[in-house]
Structure 1
Amino acid sequence: MGKGVPDAEKAELNSVKDHHAAAVADMPRFLKFGRLSTMKLVLVAITSLLLASEAQPTVLKLERPNALPGGGVVELPVNGTGKYMFHGPYLTRVMLGNPPQSFDVLIDTGSILPWIGCETARIPTRLFYPASSTSVLGCSDHSCQALESARAAKCNTSNNRCAYDLGYGNGDNGTASNAVGYYISDLVHLNGLSTPARIVFGCTTSWSGQLTRGGFDGIFGLSPFGMSFISQLYSLGISGKVFTLCMHSPTGGGILAFGEALEPGLTYTPLLPSPQYYQVNLQSIAVNGQTLPIESSVFGPSPSNFTFVDSGTTLAYLADGAYEPFISAIRAATPPSELPFTGENGEICFATSTSIDSAFPSVELDFVGGAKMFLYPHNYMYYVKPSVYCIGWLRNTGRQVTLLGDIVLVDKILVHDLEKKRLGWMNYDCSQPINVTTARGKKHTNSGQSLHSITTSFTVVLVVVIYITLLT
């Protein structure tokens, strides 16, 4: 376990966490595609159970593998569902247990924990069956105690398990769904490791309500939190605290590599201290080179006004104060031949007979330090049906929080660097190889290929934010 946080600092952190909880309470997390107008299931995020990343040391004491990669780098395939214009949401395949079992999990940089559907969970996905290699975290385990102190677990004294209860609510009628489970440790088999490594992850044994239609096997939490997958690899000495993600929109492929991309042309902006998110300082938005009239306070940064990137969210959500200026600028810069209309959920749509990248304006996001992210129309518009596209940057009503999801992040190298506290990006063909450093600073070039055999059926649209509540 790491050092404790002084009482005065805890009080300050709790205040910040409460502001964050209010700011993201109703924010959607990811879409599973059919039609956007279909049923929406909102899972409300309670981020107040997290410790601030700056004050939170690594909470786990993990067993190091017998042998680490000999000059290689841990990399995983990326594959989308192919159900959307940018083929999201994006999944990867992991192998867990002994003998190894294969699972397709959501790549989620906004989620604090890795977890898998487990044992008796009655859901139509592959389930993890604990084997002789599995260890259940008991109440006295140092990892459980650390998770409890971070309010990410609750000891179940009746069976001596380190338990969690994921609570869900339907955004339309308030009905509830739940995912309940307990923490275990088991082996993960990774390309680049000569022997498997032991990690801690959630074993979800009961899913209820609309959540049973999810179609994925689990969630691959990659946030800055000390229990996330990247943090555990770092604690094991397998990788540095940096990873590279590239999501390919034409095919849904890509790569997830635990190391730093070395490609020339990367742009960086500082990461801000955050308990859960890769939070950045967005300062302005420009459309066709013209900066929009948005008050600087809208983007913050402050506990309630901030911007973050999140691969677990398929669309983007603009701070309330930025939405109208953005929509007005897009409409003003669009030729009259591209006929606008209001979609079934109030989104702005266009009937167009031409390529959206040639008919619609470019967008530029300007970050602190002069870093710029240049975006094409397909980075803010999504396909609905032939000749119909809608703007995929939605309004975060009543909140000054901006979330940049997959629609913005596709076709880019994204470097999440917690060691140097920065986020890097550059436009890139994610089907091509990427030069990445290893944990030892050696250069490695990945194959640039995805695992195209990953298939997941998404037949309903779910807008989800995952949160953890304690057992009572």
Structure 2
Amino acid sequence: MVPLNSSMVSVEHDRARDRVRHARLFNGVVNFSVYGSADSFYYGIYFTKVKLGTPPKEFNLQIDTGSELTWVSSKSCPSCPRSSRFGIELSHYDVAASSTSKVIPCSDKSCTAITLGDATRCSIDGQYCGYVMKYLDESATSGFYVADTFHFESVSSNSTTLNASAGILFGVSTYRSGMLAETETAVDGIFGFGKQKLSVLSQLYYKGITPRVFSHCLKGGGTGGGVFVLGEVLAPGMVYTPLVPWQPHYSVHLENIVINGKLLPVDPKTFTPSADYATVLDTGTTFSYFVSEAYDLFVGAVSNNPFPILRTLVLLLYFSYVHWTFICRLFPLVSLNFAGGASLSLKPEEYLFLSNVSKYNENLRYLIMFPYLWISCWKSLLRHTGYTYCLATGWYYVVHRFSKGSRTNHLRRLATLQPLILCIFALEMLSQ
């Protein structure tokens, strides 16, 4: 057995080494630990730990570059989750428990300066500056603004770690609905890192504490995690793509898509940024999406290339176990090419989503007929299409827009095959 103390020393040593490395890579950084993963268990949510108030209290906040408001759950919020599937202890903010907390009244200039449009509302008596925030997934939250102390670690260029703090404005939510109220995806709130002035990044910048630059790398596979810092990347070999300046979000110009070396025949005007549309980078969105013109061509190219014979042929191979490298042989490589020469190359496991069978997947209802089979499924990362790639005790098969009757019959046939045979099967089912 390893003594507890020596294990703790090792962990602290590793953390110290990471701080030194980040100091070399980033210029004057504020470093945040990143948790969560693209794995279905985490629903694609990435979060970090933030300390607020005096004495400091820790909160787990989802990292969201698509919104500017940072908010935490109130102690008096009846609709806020009390437990989380992620195994984290949820915290609730109590104004009375922090000696540095200040509720923002409607008369405060901070309230009138907030530019969230309809989201900013005052209480009837004017005692607090309130908000109502609605998200595109139809979830919502409402509450009031407070000013309090934000605690963080700053790593200097000489690798010195300093404890620092600053006063910031954030929301205290007294109501949550939709996915924000569900235990399945529960965290303590949202860490808003949008482009607007209310984001934590902008607030610290205007106080002269950090540059108006942040860098992040979210690890999709394995245990997840990643890097999230306030500061500039100094690593060599970086390739940049410019942000679209007139867009309210972090938007870029996607020029084209290449699949297995072949250019997807999409009209270039489809991706050209406009006042209303652009390619948005949003850490708070689980999936990636294309406009329909590009999406339909993408699905066709991925499903037909490189093995169209899989739609009609059953291949039997000797099998001991299935590895990701096997999946890579069935699906093509994808490159997303952006303005300025930046290119994002994606392997199949990076654009297909590994998902366990659940009550949310209506298409897999009848697979529960075989409880002795271990089943996982790959679904298109871009949006729901009817394509589901399943692995069950050595069986690998592709289901394409099936009818319930056809599906049941085919699954019975698959279940009668010998367990040491790998079956690659493409079921061409009815689209309706």
Matched residue type, 2:173: T
Distance apart, 1:168 and its partner CA: 6.8
Distance apart, 1:308 and its partner CA: 1.1
CA distance in 2 between partners of 1:222 and 1:388 (Å): 33
2:40 matches 1:84: yes
Distance apart, 1:86 and its partner CA: 8.6
Q: Write the mapping of 1:9-408 to structure 2, written as runs, cut at 5 A.
A: 73-80=29-36, 83-84=39-40, 88-122=44-78, 123=80, 124=82, 125-130=90-95, 131-147=98-114, 150-167=117-134, 178-192=140-154, 193-208=162-177, 211-213=180-182, 214-249=185-220, 250-274=222-246, 276-336=248-308, 355-385=326-356, 386=375, 388-394=377-383
CA distance in 2 between partners of 1:255 and 1:353 (Å): 25
Structure 1: state its 5+ residue gaps.
Answer: 1-70, 172-176, 341-350, 397-472
Is the 1:320–1:395 Cα contact (8 Å) retained in structure 2? no
Give 3-state SS (helix, strand or coil) of 2:195's partner.
coil
CA distance in 1 between partners of 2:345 and 2:140 (Å): 40
- Higher mean displacement: 100-109 or 355-364: 355-364
Change (3 A) 1:339 1:388: farther
Matched residue type, 1:381: L
CA distance in 2 between partners of 1:126 and 1:328 (Å): 46
Change (3 A) 1:148 1:234: closer
Change (3 A) 1:383 1:281: same
Distance apart, 1:157 and its partner CA: 4.2
Q: Highest Rg: 1 or 2?
A: 2
Distance apart, 1:295 and its partner CA: 1.2
Change (3 A) 1:229 1:149: closer
Distance apart, 1:194 and its partner CA: 3.4
Distance apart, 1:251 and its partner CA: 1.3
Structure 2: state its 5+ residue gaps.
Answer: 1-26, 83-89, 155-161, 313-321, 357-374, 386-432
Distance apart, 1:103 and its partner CA: 0.8
Matched residue type, 2:130: A
Distance apart, 1:179 and its partner CA: 2.3
Match of 1:35 in 2: none
Distance apart, 1:151 and its partner CA: 4.7
Matched residue type, 2:205: Y
Is the 1:112–1:276 Cα contact (8 Å) retained in structure 2? no
Normalised by the length of structure 2, the TM-score is 0.66
Q: Deviations over 1:269-307 (max 9, x none)?
A: 110024531100111111011111111221121123311
- Judging by fraction of residues, say which structure has more helix: 2
Give 3-state SS (helix, strand or coil) of 1:240's partner.
coil
Match of 1:66 in 2: none
Q: Deviations over 1:109-166 (max 9, x none)?
A: 1111111111201221421112221011121222211115855412224142111023
Matched residue type, 1:239: T
Matched residue type, 1:92: T
Is the 2:119–2:133 Cα contact (8 Å) retained in structure 1? no
Give 3-state SS (helix, strand or coil) of 1:143's partner.
helix
CA distance in 2 between partners of 1:305 and 1:203 (Å): 32
Matched residue type, 2:261: G
Matched residue type, 1:233: L
Normalised by the length of structure 1, the TM-score is 0.61
Q: Which has the higher contact order (CA 8 A, sep 6+)?
A: 1
Is the 2:241–2:252 Cα contact (8 Å) retained in structure 1? yes
Is the 2:39–2:355 Cα contact (8 Å) retained in structure 1? no
**What percent of counterpart residues are identical?**
36
CA distance in 2 between partners of 1:360 and 1:285 (Å): 15
Change (3 A) 1:290 1:197: same
CA distance in 2 between partners of 1:199 and 1:322 (Å): 42
Give the superposed CA RMSD.
2.8
CA distance in 1 between partners of 2:54 and 2:109 (Å): 24
Matched residue type, 2:70: P
Is the 2:37–2:219 Cα contact (8 Å) retained in structure 1? no
Is the 1:86–1:252 Cα contact (8 Å) retained in structure 2? no
Change (3 A) 1:286 1:121: same
